[in-house]
Amino acid sequence: VVEHLERLALVDFGGPEAVARLERAVAVADRLRAVDTDGVQPLESVLEDRCLYLRSDNVVEGNCAEELLRNSHRVVEEYFVAPPGNISLPKLDEQEPFSPS
Amino acid sequence: MLGRTLREVSAALKQGQITPTELCQKCLSLIKKTKFLNAYITVSEDVALKQAEESEERYKKGYVPPYNATVVQKLLDQGALLMGKTNLDEFAMGSGSTDGVFGPVKNPWSYSKQYREKRKQKPHGENEETNWLIAGGSSGGSAAAVSAFTCFAALGSDTGGSTRNPAAHCGVVGLKPSYGLVSRHGLIPLVNSMDVPGILTRCVDDAATVLGVLAGHDCKDSTTVQDPVQSFILPSLTDVSKLCIGIPKEYLVPELSSEVQSLWSKAAKLFESEGAKVIEVSLPHTSYSIVCYLVLCTSEVASNMARFDGLEYGHRCDIKVSTEAMYAATRREGFNDVVRGRILSGNFFILKENYENYFIKAQKVRRLIANDFVNVFNSGVDVLLTPTTLSEAVPYMEFIKEDNRTRSAQGDIFTQAVNMAGLPAVSVPMALSSQGLPVGLQFIGRAFCDQQLLTVAKWFEKQVQFPVIQLQEIMGDCSSVFENDLASVSLKQ
């Protein structure tokens, strides 16, 4: 499960303390079982009785590519540069030990 | 590097291939070597190096927002002066403002005459620098800024109590508006269904004034309601006999400090003695609120934090192997333990096999919690009165003995259910504890009845006359700050 979560979250546990912390959090969360929720609908938004505002589909702003590109570390002309995709993270035992910087 | 063009070297600086200081030093050393050319009559080495340092700071800052949050823009449009950005717990996760990358926030009351007189142990001893108190969180920087008179109002965020908690600890007013009243456009989302921008001021009237500026539909935030904006000018209540104050019995928990409890009782009696109806009410699912919050908050966080991958903005790790590896490393470096912990917990709760039992279950419990409030308000209660925090502010050294999740659960205990239900709530400072520290109480109102809530809060504020913080010792001669002849100023509406 630990490996699965690390892969999904793209964030690592960084040690056994973090795993222990998760176990404690789950133990706390388990207390929800004691509540009787038969026939209760999940609440997604307190504004569920209202109609969501939809604005008309017209372009009113934008054209700020330069400003947005400015915040990125690696940019080539008008593109954000990313390392190659579609390569899975190595499995736990294949990984090199990470030394915290 | 020195032979490159201006554009090329600028790009290199941006990408971190060379730092401004390194570049400056290269130029300076070459200037020295070519002294025989007699091209320079003055070499401003010190100035150049200082400017290089400043330039480095600017590069380090990384993210410069390309737009203003709606709430910020609204204030600027009304002529407000932006004094700066305040400190907080990283990504608003915490209740002490101790877990941010810029370091912890110190509660101004740590330096107040009122607190120091009560301590007496070592009035000017070495204990002082290490024994300072937390400001509360997560919007502690904003609360401290207002409390120390450095500004007249500050914005925070409130998802579980993050504006009200530090307000109580710093002796200021902390308002959480009704969900849907104030735009969240530009507020980095933590829990989209609970977040609201918070308002911190030194008095209730000021909070109402700011709310008047900020409230209203924003087409950039579709979760803002389209109701016409009401006025937030607060009448001065003189007669509270028609008011019904509810005291939720489940909020009397064993962890509540006896001092806060007695102040809470005193406040209830105050309303009663002035003719208001004060009754005990029940919010049966209160004890599950924190658990519910744990699941919903972490689950939403898992999703909301996914945008921080280092690609379009922010910190980025120099890994070229694969996108996923780069994301993982960037996020490991960029997020602190608290944030990473919540992301991982959240991902656990939304795993396919857990989704129904944890996330959906929590959403159902949320409805029960929200319904508890609806039932109480339907029974004729106008406003609820509860403590804001379990006790007054504690010393930082004490606070860090427990982990963030434990402290958050304790800090949010009275404030968090309000976010579940999307109701308005305000923390008003009531009195000083026996240690000379502020204690605040919380008023909770009906949805979109923010004006009524603040009216009651304003009446209470006038009754209790909370003392002004005395910071003269550390502020030197700032007597002008404390001049109180505003009574003679008439406010033109």
Each residue's pLDDT tens digit, A60-91: 888 888 888 888 888 888 888 888 888 777 76
Mean pLDDT lowest among A61-65, B223-227, B252-256, B280-284? A61-65
What was the pLDDT predicted at B124? 55
Q: Do B66 and A12 touch (CB under 8 A)?
A: no
- What b/e readout covers B404-429, taking b as 16+ CB neighbours within 10 angstroms? bbebbbbbbbbbbbbbbbbbbbbbbb
**Hey, how many other C-beta atoms are within 10 angstroms of the C-beta on B119?**
15
Residue of A10, A40, A45 lying closest to B364 (CB–CB): A40
What was the pLDDT predicted at A78? 83
Find the residue in A nearest to B364 (Cα).
Answer: A42
pLDDT at residue A98 greater than cutoff 50: no
pLDDT at residue B60 greater than cutoff 80: no
Q: Do B360 and A13 touch (CB under 8 A)?
A: no
Q: Do A83 and B16 touch (CB under 8 A)?
A: no
What was the pLDDT predicted at B488? 38
What is the CB-side half-sphere exposure of residue B356 using CA atoms within 13 A? 2
What was the pLDDT predicted at B406? 83
Q: Do B365 and A41 touch (CB under 8 A)?
A: no
Q: Is A16 on the interface with B (CB under 8 A)?
A: no
Higher pLDDT, B451 or B79: B451
What was the pLDDT predicted at B159? 95
Q: What is the pLDDT confidence band of residue B487, given thresholds at 50, 70 and 90?
A: very low
Higher pLDDT, B48 or B121: B48
Q: Do B328 and A10 touch (CB under 8 A)?
A: yes
What was the pLDDT predicted at B123? 53
Q: Do A83 and B325 touch (CB under 8 A)?
A: yes
pLDDT at residue B356 greater than cutoff 70: yes
pLDDT at residue A97 greater than cutoff 70: no
Average pLDDT (B274-296) is: 95
CA end-to-end distance (rounded Å), chain A: 26
pLDDT at residue B367 greater than cutoff 50: yes
The H or E element that residue A3 is part of is helix A2-9
Q: What is the pLDDT confidence band of residue B481, given thresholds at 50, 70 and 90?
A: low
Q: Do A35 and B327 touch (CB under 8 A)?
A: no
Domain annotation covers residue A29:
yes
What was the pLDDT predicted at B19? 85
Higher pLDDT, B278 or A81: B278
pLDDT at residue B182 greater than cutoff 60: yes
CA distances to A88, B136, B172, B232 from B418, rounded to whole Å, are 42, 18, 19, 21
What was the pLDDT predicted at B75? 92
Q: Do B63 and A71 touch (CB under 8 A)?
A: yes
Q: Is B43 on the interface with A (CB under 8 A)?
A: no
Q: Which of B63, B53, B47 is nearest to B19 (CA)?
A: B53
Mean pLDDT of chain B: 88
Average pLDDT (B130-137) is: 89
Mean pLDDT lowest among B40-49, B364-373, B484-493? B484-493
User: A71 to chain B nearest CA, in Å?
Assistant: 5
What was the pLDDT predicted at B482? 54
Domain annotation covers residue A81:
no
Q: Are B110 and B132 in contact (CB under 8 A)?
A: yes
Q: Is A67 on the interface with B (CB under 8 A)?
A: yes
3-state secondary structure string, chain B?
CCCCCHHHHHHHHHCCCCCHHHHHHHHHHHHHHCHHHCCCCCCCHHHHHHHHHHHHHHHHHCCCCCCCCHHHHHHHHCCCCCCCCCCCCHHHCCCCCCCCCCCCCECHHHHCHHHHHHHCCCCCCCHHHHCCEECCCCCHHHHHHHHCCCCCEEEEEECCCCCHHHHHHHCCEEEECCCCCECCCCCCCCCCCCCEEEEEECCHHHHHHHHHHHECCECCECCCCCCCCCCCCCCCCCCCCCCEEEEEHHHCCCCCCHHHHHHHHHHHHHHHHCCCEEEEECCCCHHHHHHHHHHHHHHHHHHHHHHCCCCCCCCCCCCCCCHHHHHHHHHHHHCCHHHHHHHHHHHHHCCHHHHHHHHHHHHHHHHHHHHHHHHHHHCCCCEEEEECCCCCCCEHHHHCCCCHHHHHHHHCCCCHHHHHHCCCEEEEEEEECCCCCEEEEEEECCCCCHHHHHHHHHHHHHHHCCCCCCCHHHHCCCHHHHCCHHHHCCCCC
What number is the ipTM of this complex? 0.83
pLDDT at residue B486 greater than cutoff 80: no
Average pLDDT (B435-448) is: 96
% of chain B exceeding 70 in pLDDT: 93
Each residue's pLDDT tens digit, B294-344: 999 999 999 998 888 888 888 888 888 888 888 888 888 888 888 888 888
Q: Is A24 on the interface with B (CB under 8 A)?
A: yes
Q: Do B225 and A64 touch (CB under 8 A)?
A: no
Mean pLDDT lowest among B76-80, B431-435, B488-492? B488-492
pLDDT at residue B383 greater than cutoff 90: yes
Q: Is B106 on the interface with A (CB under 8 A)?
A: no
Which chain A residues touch B63 with a CB distance below 8 Å? 71
Domain annotation covers residue A71:
no
Q: Is A65 on the interface with B (CB under 8 A)?
A: no
Q: What is the pLDDT confidence band of residue B158, given thresholds at 50, 70 and 90?
A: very high
Q: Give which of B364, B374, B412 to mutate to test A binding, by max A Cβ within 10 Å.
A: B364
Domain annotation covers residue A2:
yes
Mean pLDDT lowest among B90-94, B175-179, B447-451, B479-483? B479-483
Domain annotation covers residue A63:
no
What is the total count of domains within chain A? 1
Which chain B residues touch A14 with a CB distance below 8 Å? 332, 337, 340
CA end-to-end distance (rounded Å), chain B: 62
pLDDT at residue B425 greater than cutoff 60: yes
What was the pLDDT predicted at A26? 93
Average pLDDT (B370-395) is: 96
Domain annotation covers residue A13:
yes
Which structural domain, as residue segments, surrounds residue A26?
Answer: 1-36
% of chain B exceeding 90 in pLDDT: 57
Between chain A and chain B, the number of residue pairs with CB atoms below 8 A apart is 185
Average pLDDT (B127-135) is: 80
User: B346 to chain A nearest CA, in Å?
Assistant: 9
Higher pLDDT, B426 or B477: B426
Domain annotation covers residue A28:
yes
pLDDT at residue B8 greater than cutoff 80: no
Domain annotation covers residue A51:
no
Q: Is B87 on the interface with A (CB under 8 A)?
A: no
Each residue's pLDDT tens digit, A38-52: 999 999 999 999 988
Q: Do A32 and B285 touch (CB under 8 A)?
A: no
**Hey, how many other C-beta atoms are within 10 angstroms of the C-beta on B154?**
26
Q: What is the pLDDT confidence band of residue A101, given thresholds at 50, 70 and 90?
A: very low
pLDDT at residue B31 greater than cutoff 90: no
Q: Do A18 and B314 touch (CB under 8 A)?
A: no
Q: Are B214 and B74 in contact (CB under 8 A)?
A: yes
What was the pLDDT predicted at B110? 92
| Strand partners of residue B114 | none
Residue of A37, A46, A89 lying closest to B364 (CB–CB): A37
pLDDT at residue B490 greater than cutoff 50: no
